[in-house]
């Protein structure tokens, strides 16, 4: 499914705000279907005078087991988004995008605007009215963050690691000393209760960037998240 969106009005955009909420004219298969709300990082809004959305029909449910997360995931529609332009069709930036409860959310994704992506993600979760009540739910909420904001579980070149051994052998062999150093650092995802919040620590590798990153999620009972990340190596 291809969706073409044309910008008609800004609902609100605060001065120096990191997020814009925009009213969009929406066309499905060339047929007008009304205005939709569209939320995205302010710094990438310049890419979207018009937006081309391509529906991603891959099933992601196999990565999730907790009932709350599975139910939420079933209500989210996944897209990739890019500027609609005939002249730039082969040379355009693409960004992860989802639709939930009548609103669309675009994420900066691989540009690593983590703070803003987390802010947009929290807006989505605020509408979901989700409560996190176990370590397993907290861990899967972190996985949902990667799926929604960065396209994990759709792309085999993006991995949540259980160890350095998960990185394809050819990449480890190309940088044996680095792989050996990371062997003592990278471990499987861990979740623990700290006070009234859950802390999830995990490591990722993305083939396109060649980066191994450490992530820490602080997940509150109302499903609002705080995210910190740093690059710890390259493979």
3-state secondary structure 6-19: EEEEEEECCCCCCE
Which residue from 40, 33, 36 is spatially nearest to 18, judged by alpha carbons?
40
How confident is the model at residue 81, as a pLDDT? 75
Residue 163 has pLDDT above 90, yes or no: yes
How many angstroms separate the CA atoms of 204 and 215, rounded?
A: 8
5, β-bridge pairs: 26, 51
- H helices within the chain, ranges in order? 67-74, 114-128, 135-150, 169-174, 176-183
pLDDT digits (tens, 9 = 90+) for 94-112: 788 899 998 899 898 876 6
pLDDT (mean) for 124-139: 96
pLDDT for 65 beyond 50 = yes
Percent of the chain with pLDDT over 90: 54
pLDDT band (50, 70, 90) for residue 5: very low
* Residue 109: closest CA among 48, 51, 46, 41: 41
pLDDT of residue 156: 72
Identify the CA nearest to 164 among candidates 94, 117, 214: 214
* Digit-coded pLDDT (tens) for 195-234: 999 999 999 999 988 999 999 999 999 999 999 999 999 9
Q: What is the C-alpha separation between 196 and 92, in angstroms, rounded? A: 43
What's the pLDDT score for residue 91?
46
How confident is the model over 30-51, as pLDDT tens digits?
Answer: 566 777 778 988 887 776 666 6
Dist CA 119 CA 117 (whole Å)? 5
**Region 178-191: what's the mean pLDDT?**
97
For 71, which DSSP code?
H
Weakest mean pLDDT among 67-76, 77-86, 187-196: 77-86
């Amino acid at each position: 499914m291809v969706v073409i969106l044309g910008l008609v009005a800004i609902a609100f955009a605060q001065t120096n705000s990191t997020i814009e909420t925009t009213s969009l004219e929406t066309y499905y298969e060339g047929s007008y279907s009304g205005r939709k709300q569209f939320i995205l990082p302010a710094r990438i809004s310049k890419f979207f005078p018009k937006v081309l959305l391509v529906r991603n029909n891959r099933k992601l449910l196999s990565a999730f087991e907790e009932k709350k997360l599975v139910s939420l995931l079933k209500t989210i529609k996944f897209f990739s988004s890019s500027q609609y332009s005939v002249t730039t069709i082969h040379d355009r930036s693409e960004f992860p995008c989802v639709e939930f409860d009548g609103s669309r959310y675009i994420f900066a994704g691989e540009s690593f605007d983590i703070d803003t992506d987390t802010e947009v993600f929290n807006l989505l979760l605020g509408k979901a009215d989700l409560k996190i009540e176990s370590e397993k739910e907290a861990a899967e909420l972190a996985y949902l963050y990667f799926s929604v904001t960065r396209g994990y579980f759709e792309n085999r070149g993006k991995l949540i690691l259980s160890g350095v051994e998960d990185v394809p052998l050819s990449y480890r062999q190309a940088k044996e000393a680095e792989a050996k150093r990371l062997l003592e650092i990278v471990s499987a995802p861990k979740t623990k209760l700290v006070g009234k919040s859950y802390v999830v620590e995990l490591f990722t590798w993305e083939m396109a960037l060649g980066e191994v990153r450490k992530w820490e999620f602080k997940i509150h009972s109302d499903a609002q998240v705080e995210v910190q990340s740093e690059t710890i190596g390259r493979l």
